[in-house]
A and B are shown apart, each in its own frame.
Chain A
Amino acid sequence: MRYSVLQILRQGLTGNRGWKPVWREPDPKPHYDIVIVGGGGHGLATAYYLAAVHGLTDVAVLEKGWLGSGNVGRNTTIVRSNYLLPGNQPFYELSMRLWEGLEQELNYNAMVSQRGIINLYHSDAQRDAAARRGNAMILSGADAVLLGRDALREKCPFLDFDNERFPIMGGLWQPRGGTVRHDAVAWGYARGADRRGVDLIQNCEVTGFDIANGVCRGVETSCGAIRANRVAVCVAGSSGRVMGHAGLRLPIESHVLQAFVTEGLKPAIPGVITFGAGHFYVSQSDKGGLVFGGDIDGYNTYAQRGNLPTLEDVCEGGMAVMPMIGRARVLRIWGGLVDMSMDGSPFIDRTPVEGLYFNGGWNYGGFKATPASGYCYAHLIATGAPHPVATGMRLDRFERGAPIDEKGAGAQPNLH
């Protein structure tokens, strides 16, 4: 069923009895051409683009829980393409363009809201770095505006410009950045994939891989063995655990990133704002709650919950940049598992096992990458070659001395 205003009117006048479930719930077949492990945003996007762009529909998506039960529903919904390095920025700009056409393409309301993102700077050196980053963004076809203090004050008069320790000198503004309703992204891609014939199989956990002579021929699951010509893993947060079944060690650690939401407030914050001197980012949801976050907790964990010292640290960052939020009460806290790679950049690559593909290592940034991740992963699986904007996202890049070291800090698993 195609969604439209006309459809809403028709259904409204007939008692809303005609709405159908958005996707089927099929039993798995014994064999598929392609099996995607992980029914989150990236897995569903991959399935969608395999079907929509490459015409491959003998595809199953296997999900341990329910569709979109992982990180796609646990992030702070920010989309942006304000990276620096050639290995990253063109990829994220492709993602931004896909976001801009997503709702029309999927015929699904994902509430894409390009309300802008501003990264604050607090020193001369940071301003120069922001100008350089802005130029890199413009070179990749993205948009960037360097705001001085006065221009920023017009947009965000509530910032603590004269903070004693970290005075705010301005910000790098990407007007096309913004937020997207994260659950709707998973549902929209799921619906699009299902309509093209992809089987979405929920409550089906992958417990092993059928590997013989270095070739992957299928997966063992909690609902039986499923054979496949190609197996594509897409389980960021649990990558180490799942790829361990295939005997692979990854340059990834699993960490927890916490997010926080306050009670609903009147509109106050115009877009996404990030603190340049500490780690704090905030936006205001359409319901009025402030959605914010900061650093990861810092220790390896699979627990999907963090500790209070991180909450304190994040709130201190918030108070340093906008003291007006000090009296807002935090309503909800949650944690999501993130794959922290050793250079803060992701992987979309084949593995040493033939027929087994890997997508993961998304650090803090998986949500904004969802469309391009699916698009490039589908391209790799369908054609056997990496998409031109994702050629650097290789698993062996550390061994070759070719990391995509966005922060310039060397190998450590707490970058983003």
Chain B
Amino acid sequence: MLIDHPLLGPRDAQEFVVLGDAGLIDRPDRQAGDAARRFHEYLHLRNNPAGEHRELWFHEQGDRSWLVVTRDTLTHEILRVELARDVAVARGRDR
């Protein structure tokens, strides 16, 4: 698989480590009343679709940036690559 890095251009997926579902960006509020349930869902009940999936990849053998890669789990086709930082900021996180 080739991952089209937004800063570096196409890079071999072998340079990356995959962490999984990009939902891990949305860490629950630890002070919420139902924090235990929300952390259980955050940690254990991850998205597992047959088709388009957004997931976190870390460019370990490269510039060490985190990416959000949108990939088709039926064909391995990579549809979109964003910097995870941009995604996190757009979702209201400060970094």
Q: Flag whether B75 is at the interface (Cβ < 8 A).
A: yes
Q: Which residues of chain B are within 8 angstroms of A240 by Cβ–Cβ distance? A: 48-50
Contact with B along A371-397 (1 / 0, CB 8 A): 000000000000000000000000000
Q: Flag whether B40 is at the interface (Cβ < 8 A).
A: yes
How many residues on B have C-beta within 8 angstroms of the other chain's C-beta atoms?
Answer: 24
Minimal beta-carbon separation of A346 from chain B (angstroms): 15
**Stretch of A40-48, A56-64, A245-253, A280-288 that contacts chain B:** A245-253
Q: Which residues of chain B are within 8 angstroms of A411 by Cβ–Cβ distance? A: 43-44
How many Å lie between the Cα of A398 and that of B73 in the bound state?
A: 26
Main secondary structure of the interface of B (DSSP, over half): mixed
Q: Flag whether B91 is at the interface (Cβ < 8 A).
A: no
A413 touches B20 (CB 8 A): yes
Q: Pick the residue among A252, A301, A302, A342 that contacts B43 (CB under 8 A).
A: A342
Q: Which residues of chain A are within 8 angstroms of B55 by Cβ–Cβ distance? A: 299-300
B71 touches A299 (CB 8 A): yes
A250 touches B18 (CB 8 A): no
Q: Which residues of chain A are within 8 angstroms of B45 by Cβ–Cβ distance? A: 249-251
**B40 and chain A: residue at smallest CB distance:** A399
A298 touches B18 (CB 8 A): yes
B71 touches A241 (CB 8 A): no
Q: Which residues of chain A are within 8 angstroms of B35 by Cβ–Cβ distance? A: none
Contact with A along B9-28 (1 / 0, CB 8 A): 00001100110110000000
Minimal beta-carbon separation of B17 from chain A (angstroms): 8
Contact with A along B60-91 (1 / 0, CB 8 A): 00000000000101111000000000000000
B18 touches A301 (CB 8 A): no
**A304 and chain B: residue at smallest CB distance:** B74
A302 touches B44 (CB 8 A): no
Q: Which residues of chain B are within 8 angstroms of A253 by Cβ–Cβ distance? A: 20-21, 46, 48
Q: Flag whether B1 is at the interface (Cβ < 8 A).
A: yes
Q: Pick the residue among B13, B21, B53, B71 that contacts A307 (CB under 8 A).
A: B13
Contact flag A241-B46 (CB < 8 Å), given A309-B14, A399-B40: no
B73 touches A303 (CB 8 A): yes
B40 touches A254 (CB 8 A): no
Contact flag A398-B40 (CB < 8 Å), given A301-B73, A301-B76: yes
Q: Which residues of chain B are within 8 angstroms of A399 by Cβ–Cβ distance? A: 37, 40, 44
Contact with B along A219-253 (1 / 0, CB 8 A): 00000000000000000001011000000011111
How many Å lie between the Cα of A309 and that of B18 in the bound state?
A: 14
A413 touches B46 (CB 8 A): yes
Minimal beta-carbon separation of B95 from chain A (angstroms): 24
Q: Pick the residue among A251, A299, A300, A301 that contacts B44 (CB under 8 A).
A: A251
A309 touches B44 (CB 8 A): no
Q: Which residues of chain A are within 8 angstroms of B44 by Cβ–Cβ distance? A: 251, 342, 398-399, 411
How many Å lie between the Cα of A251 and that of B46 in the bound state?
A: 7
Contact flag A300-B13 (CB < 8 Å), given A251-B45, A253-B48, A411-B43: no
Q: Which residues of chain B are within 8 angstroms of A251 by Cβ–Cβ distance? A: 44-45
How many Å lie between the Cα of A298 and that of B13 in the bound state?
A: 11
How many Å lie between the Cα of A342 and that of B42 in the bound state?
A: 12
**A239 and chain B: residue at smallest CB distance:** B48
Q: Which residues of chain B are within 8 angstroms of A299 by Cβ–Cβ distance? A: 18, 20, 55, 71, 73
A300 touches B20 (CB 8 A): yes
Q: Pick the residue among B48, B75, B76 that contacts A252 (CB under 8 A).
A: B48
How many Å lie between the Cα of A241 and that of B53 in the bound state?
A: 13
Q: Which residues of chain B are within 8 angstroms of A302 by Cβ–Cβ distance? A: 50, 73-74
How many Å lie between the Cα of A309 and that of B71 in the bound state?
A: 18
Residue of A241, A252, A301 with most partner-chain B CB within 10 A: A301
Residue of A252, A254, A298, A302 with most partner-chain B CB within 10 A: A302
How many Å lie between the Cα of A301 and that of B76 in the bound state?
A: 7
Minimal beta-carbon separation of A231 from chain B (angstroms): 21
How many Å lie between the Cα of A398 and that of B37 in the bound state?
A: 10
A250 touches B48 (CB 8 A): yes
Q: Which residues of chain B are within 8 angstroms of A254 by Cβ–Cβ distance? A: 48, 50, 73
How many Å lie between the Cα of A183 and that of B82 in the bound state?
A: 44
13 A-B contacts, Cβ less than 8 Å apart?
Answer: A238-B50, A240-B50, A249-B41, A250-B48, A251-B45, A253-B21, A298-B18, A300-B73, A302-B74, A309-B13, A342-B43, A399-B44, A411-B43
Residue numbers of A with Cβ under 8 A of B are 238, 240-241, 249-254, 298-303, 307, 309, 342, 398-399, 411, 413
Residue numbers of B with Cβ under 8 A of A are 1, 13-14, 17-18, 20-21, 37, 40-41, 43-46, 48-50, 53, 55, 71, 73-76
Those 6 A-B pairs whose CB atoms lie nearest each other, nearest first: A240-B48, A251-B44, A398-B44, A309-B14, A249-B45, A302-B50
